[in-house]
Amino acid sequence: MTLADLWEGLFSEDISRVKEAWQSLTGDERGPVKDLLVRIVGERDRIDAQRAAARYALAVVDDVLPDGALAFAQDIGRETGQFLVQTHGQMTASLKRDGTLVTASDLESDRRLSEAIRARYPAHAILSEEREVVYRSEEWCWLIDPIDGTTNFTWGFPMWGVLLALLHFGQPVLGVADFPLLGEQYSAARGQGAWLGGTRLRTAHVPTTEAGGVDPMPTQLFASCTRSLGYGPFNVPLKVRVPGTTGYDLATVARGACVGSIDMRVHVWDVAALWPILHEAGAVMAVNRTTPLFPLQPDRDYLTESYSVLSACSEGMLGYLRHRLSDRFVIKE
């Protein structure tokens, strides 16, 4: 591979091309190349596209997680969830500036998770729905949703959970979603599969037509948010379910219970933990914007940004849902 081909591949933001370019390097060559990518990410005089491409390449080529990170995230997710069970359905909520609810339990959950992360990984950054919402280009960054499904939590509905994601140069590489009242914890680390407890997750099978298209059965399930229901009946031959939490909607697709899901007006912390879980299970996810959701971009206030998210058990099913739900999954700049 020529030097020009190497750098074109590394900066392509195409996972297969990045890996091919990286694998063409010898062991002695990889260290200096990685150091250069790290410098590019941190150089403010670089154009944003160069820095974003370097972040993407680093997220792809570096598969080494911090020591014990997955077990640590599983433990603090479970412990925080069990703490929250004590105040489930007993809290008074108030409105935040983005129109969502917050309770004292959200803030206490955020505090517990943040303190545990800082004690274990003091050099890591933390983004949280209730605290810091601007990404600063850190190599390792935890993204927290202290209670996913605060409305459910406030009114005593059992579908809510604690979401934790670890990002490497802005790309999710580890995720944990703990739903304590359901007794379910979903987790994944890049290259290690997706799991529900000790059971490996696989997505649902959808029948195909003779022409190779998907042909879902009318008894198969599709998860939706309440906002999407406001657009009228779904143009899909599926049974619709409304759990009331983006994290659980996506989890049902990862475990094969639903063939797809749609959630409108979600934030990055609603989906970051489920991103690696979905992908390790074989599912796919799309957002209604022309630029990728990940890796995160530096110096952006993610509390002010919301998206529609469409997930599916396969690429074919995602294309099918994009077509059928084009009235409510509208691509924006």
> Would you state the pLDDT for residue 62?
65
What is the DSSP track for 231-245? T-S-SSSSEEE--S-
Q: Per-residue confidence at 312, pLDDT binned at 50, 70, 90?
A: very high
Q: Per-residue confidence at 93, pLDDT binned at 50, 70, 90?
A: low
* More confident: 169 or 309: 309
Q: Per-residue confidence at 201, pLDDT binned at 50, 70, 90?
A: very high
> Would you state the pLDDT for residue 191?
80
pTM of the model: 0.82
Beta strands 258-266 and 125-128 are unpaired
Among 15-19, 77-81, 286-290, name the one with the lowest average pLDDT: 15-19
Find the mean pLDDT for residues 110-115: 95
Among 63-72, 85-94, 110-119, 217-226, name the one with the lowest average pLDDT: 85-94
pLDDT score of 99 more than 60 = no
Q: Per-residue confidence at 298, pLDDT binned at 50, 70, 90?
A: confident
State pLDDT tens for residues 228-280.
999 999 999 999 999 999 999 999 999 999 999 999 999 999 999 999 999 99
Q: How far apart are CA 189 and CA 69, in angstroms?
A: 9
Query: In b/e form, how buried is each residue of 84-106, taking b as 16+ CB within 10 angstroms?
Result: beeebeebebeeeeeebbbbebb
> Would you state the pLDDT for residue 95?
54
> Would you state the pLDDT for residue 58?
80
> Would you state the pLDDT for residue 100?
63
Q: Per-residue confidence at 124, pLDDT binned at 50, 70, 90?
A: very high
- Name the CATH superfamily, with its identifier, for domain 69-200: Fructose-1,6-Bisphosphatase, subunit A, domain 1 (3.30.540.10)
From residue 283, how far is each of 61, 67, 114, 264 by CA, in Å?
Answer: 22, 27, 30, 19
Which one-letter amino acid corresponds to residue 86? Q
Find the mean pLDDT for residues 83-107: 73
**For the chain, what are the domain ranges?**
3-61, 69-200, 221-324
**Residue 177 and residue 148 in contact, taking contact as beta carbons nearer than 8 Å:** yes
Q: What is the DSSP letter of 219?
A: T
| Mean pLDDT of the chain, nearest integer | 90
Q: How far apart are CA 108 and CA 122, in angstroms?
A: 20
* More confident: 92 or 316: 316
* The CATH number fitting domain 221-324, selected from 3.40.50.1220, 3.60.15.10, 3.40.190.80, 3.40.50.300: 3.40.190.80
Find the mean pLDDT for residues 41-52: 79
H or E element at residue 272: none
